[in-house]
Amino acid sequence: MDKNQSQAYWRANKALIRNLLIVWALVSLIFSILLVEPLNAIQLGRVPLGFWMAQQGSILTFVVLIFIYAVQMDRLDRKYGIRK
Amino acid sequence: MSVELWTIGFVALTFALYLYIGWLSRVRDSSGFYVAGQGVPPIANGAATAADWMSAASFISMAGLISFLGYDGSIYLMGWTGGYVLLALLLAPYLRKFGKYTVPDFVGDRYYSNVARLVAVVAALFVSLTYVAGQMRGVGIVFSRFLQVDIATGVIIGMVIVAFFSVLGGMKGITWTQVAQYVILIVAFLIPASAIALLLTGNPIPQLAFTFSDIVANLNQVQLDLGFQEYTQPFANKSQLDVLFITIALMVGTAGLPHVIVRFYTVPDVRAARYSAGWALLFIALLYTSAPALATFARYNLINSLHNQTIEEVRQLDWANKWERTKLLAFDDRNNNGRFELTPDSATNEITIDPDIIVLSTPEVANLAPWVIAIVAAGGLAAALSTASGLLLVISSSVAHDIYYRILKPDATETQRVFVGRIMVGLAVALAGYFGINPPGFVAQVVAFAFGLAAASFFPVIILGIFDKRTNREGAIAGMVTGLLFTIFYIVGVKFSGMTPWFFGVSAEGIGTLGMIINFIVTIVVSRLTPPPPLAVQEMVEDLRSPAGELPPEAVH
């Protein structure tokens, strides 16, 4: 892998990390803490949405985010010929 | 068969299993001892990380705390899981590529400085020692409650078990026992959670029962009727800013805890490190999404079975009498009306419930068979022992690897290194045991330290070490030292010497977030004002960023 390619790989990696971390902050810090009160006006199932996000939704999203990262990085690794 | 016999049977069985695994995993070389020969499959490392991470506090105390804090208990749920996203995206793959044994290894090499290494060692030792004392205490408490053994004897039994597999097998022994411990602790947690969900809602899956049954709404109503805030009411106990700061401090602290980070050194390659973080969080989430459900059900059920009941009715409940004897549950009919009443006002409240009772008493409250209670005891022990062993390895490697081998005696042979490692694990176990039997009065208070200090010390310098090539030795040392000193100053001031929490009322638990921000700023500014790192270091950073060309650890040395 030459220098340009490895820079492109690193940029793509950073963009992916940035996007996933935006979702990470959105579900936990924004929805579950800063906006919890307005969101609690909405019901999910039989519980207020903001409360549900804080105690269930954010955690489930975290798990999904990590697997998305791993799978997307596999694709990136293949694209740049790091792994067959 | 009595509960005690079942408990002795289960505990003995699980201990025999740990000893057997420890014997099978014994090692001779330093790579095996410190990083399990870097041959742990991602799913197994995920399970080991989950057990390493979930301590006696997660298993026994967390659901109880949530049931008393309601919404505000979410700080623990999000804080202790969200950090894994940071770990998986920002730290684990690169540290695995780096491939060496400890967190101070990375700090020392990346910042080409034994001073930086030493600061990292001191922080790692401090964080791990405060944490491990609590685990040994947890072992003692489980023994004393379930087996009526005194706490000191319980701690000594626990010490012998941990010492056996960690001295013989180092990280390899610890890893495989942790995998077994995860299975035991998760089964032990889910059986009662599922049973009480079934009992109250007819749905055995706690997460679904929590979301789709009326229990949360009913609990809100019950709380209002008794004069409490609604269970789902945000910021009933802590301000919004404090909830935000504590959550971030716990997340970042989790990602900076050395005993969690080193688990990612044990997998075969970078790809395995990425997936293994996902498995770890999935395994953790199984408990962490069940815990808030259990918290809600148990609180609802406790209030319903105890509040406004006559003294005679309460006396007929076997579990109420049993837990009253342990002083975790207390009744006092202050107004002499023949009934026990639960109120938010401590002057009129007649039922005192210790948070620890929520998980421990659920099997009895839900009328489960005695063997379930025995499994819960074995699960609590698994949680405490697995976390303790991970911490002990960090303590031992900080001294035996980072100080003895990397600083004092770089020409030490394999045999010497492993020998010193074993001695240090042994000493660390003894020290942890001592603190377990004679807990310093401040143990409960210093848990805030572990997360706050990890957040304010390691996290920024590791992140910048990977993502910012310009960060240099001067910046890293200045950042770690200011972050640590500020956080210690605030925590000690607020917790021990009556300082007002002057930073917008943010509590000692949440101040690590500010410490981390200070560390980031200082590190970046000082780095810009001093010479850039040497070319070789910049090339090393370049190399960390690509998973290509991984070398086995010995070749990197």
Residues 6+ apart with CB under 8 A from B405: B412, B417, B420
Mutate to test the interface with B, among A59, A69, A72 (most CBs of B within 10 A): A59
Model pLDDT, residue B484: 92
Which chain A residues in 51-80 lie under 8 Å from chain B, judged by CB atoms?
51-52, 54-56, 58-60, 62-63, 65-67, 69-70, 73-74, 77
Q: Which of A66, A75, A82 to mutate to test the interface with B (most CBs of B within 10 A)?
A: A66
Contact yes or no for B547 and A50 at CB 8 A:
no
Q: How many angstroms separate the CA atoms of B284 and B511, rounded?
A: 25
Backbone phi, psi, residue A7, to 5°: -70, -40
- Phi and psi at B351, nearest 5°, equal -125, 115
* pTM (2 d.p.): 0.93
Nearest residue of chain B to residue A69 (CA atoms): B89
Contact: A66, B85; criterion CB under 8 Å: yes
CB neighbours of residue B422 within 10 Å:
19
Task: Choose, out of B232, B283, B297, the residue to mutate when testing the contact with A (most A CBs < 10 Å).
Answer: B232
Distance from CA of B184 to the nearest CA of A (A): 22
Judged by a CB distance cut-off of 8 A, whether residue A5 touches chain B is no
Flag whether residue A41 sits within 8 Å of chain B, measured between CB atoms.
no
Does the beta-carbon distance from A83 to B82 stay under 8 Å?
no
Test mutation, B43, B78, B506, B544, chain A, max A CBs within 10 A: B78
Nearest-CB residue to A56 (from B89, B281, B289): B289
A23 interfacial to chain B (CB closer than 8 Å)? no
Is the Cβ of A21 closer than 8 Å to some Cβ of chain B?
A: yes
* Set of chain B residues whose Cβ sits within 8 Å of the Cβ of A49: none
Q: Helix (H, G, I), strand (E, B), or coil: what is residue B409?
A: coil
Does B271 sit within 8 Å of A73, measured CB to CB?
Answer: yes
Report DSSP state, residue A14.
H
Confidence check: pLDDT of A72 > 90: yes
Whether A62 and B285 lie within 8 Å, measured CB to CB:
yes
CB contact under 8 A, A29 and B214: no
Residues 6+ away with beta carbon under 8 Å from B524: B464, B468, B471, B475
pLDDT at B232: 94
Set of chain A residues whose Cβ sits within 8 Å of the Cβ of B77: 54-55, 58-59
Contacts of B212 in chain A (CB under 8 A): 45-46
Q: How many angstroms separate the CA atoms of B23 and A77, rounded?
A: 39
* Residues B81, A82: C-beta atoms closer than 8 Å: no
pLDDT at B218: 94
Q: Which of A13, A32, A47 is opposite residue B78, by nearest beta carbon?
A: A32
Q: How close A47 gets to chain B, by Cα (Å)? A: 6
- pLDDT band at residue A84, thresholds of 50, 70 and 90? low
Could you tell me which residues come within 8 angstroms of residue B226 by beta carbon, excluding any fewer than 6 positions away? B303, B307, B342, B343, B344
* C-alpha to C-alpha distances, B471 to B518, B529, B534, nearest whole angstrom: 15, 10, 11
Residues B258/B186/B288/B147 CA torsion (nearest 10 deg): -90
- Supply φ then ψ for residue B230, to 5 degrees: -55, 145
Subunit contact A70:B82, Cβ cutoff 8 A: no
Whether A50 has its CB under 8 Å from any CB of chain B: the answer is yes
pLDDT at B555: 39
Contact of A34 with chain B, judged by CB distance below 8 Å, is answered with: yes
Q: What DSSP line would sit under B53-121, residue for residue?
A: H--HIIIIIHHHHHHHHGGGGHHHHHHHHHHHHHIIIIIHHHHHHH--S-HHHHHHHHTT-HHHHHHHH
> What pLDDT does residue B554 have?
42
| Among the partner residues B78, B234, B275, nearest to A50 by beta-carbon distance | B234
What are the DSSP E strand ranges found in chain A? 43-44, 47-48
pLDDT of residue B441: 55
Between CA B448 and CA B434 the distance in angstroms is 21
**Which residue from B247, B251, B275 is facing A70, i.e. has the nearest CB?**
B275
Contact (CB<8Å) B240/A83: no
pLDDT in tens, B337-372: 989 999 888 888 999 988 878 888 888 887 888 888
Q: Which pLDDT value is given to residue B549?
A: 67
Enumerate the residues of chain A whose CB falls inside 8 A of the CB of residue B463.
none
By CA distance, what is B73's nearest residue in A?
A55
A26 interfaces chain B, CB cutoff of 8 Å = no
Return the SS3 of A76.
Answer: helix
CB-defined contacts A:B, below 8 A: 134
Per-residue pLDDT band for A30 (boundaries 50, 70, 90) equals very high
- Indicate which of B45, B213, B246, B274 best probes the interface with A, i.e. most A CBs within 10 Å of its own CB: B274
Looking at every residue in chain B, the average pLDDT score rounds to: 89
Q: How far is B28 from chain A (nearest CA, A)?
A: 32
Nearest CA in chain B to A58: B78
B246 chain-A contacts, CB cut-off 8 A: none
Across the interface, do B546 and A9 touch by the CB < 8 Å criterion?
yes
Dist CA B412 CA B433 (whole Å): 30
* B327 vs A22, more confident: A22
Q: Is B149 exposed, middle or buried (0-12, 13-18, 19+ CB in 10 A)?
A: middle
Q: Which residues of chain B have pLDDT under 50?
A: 551-557
Query: Do B206 and B197 form a contact (C-beta atoms < 8 A)?
Result: yes
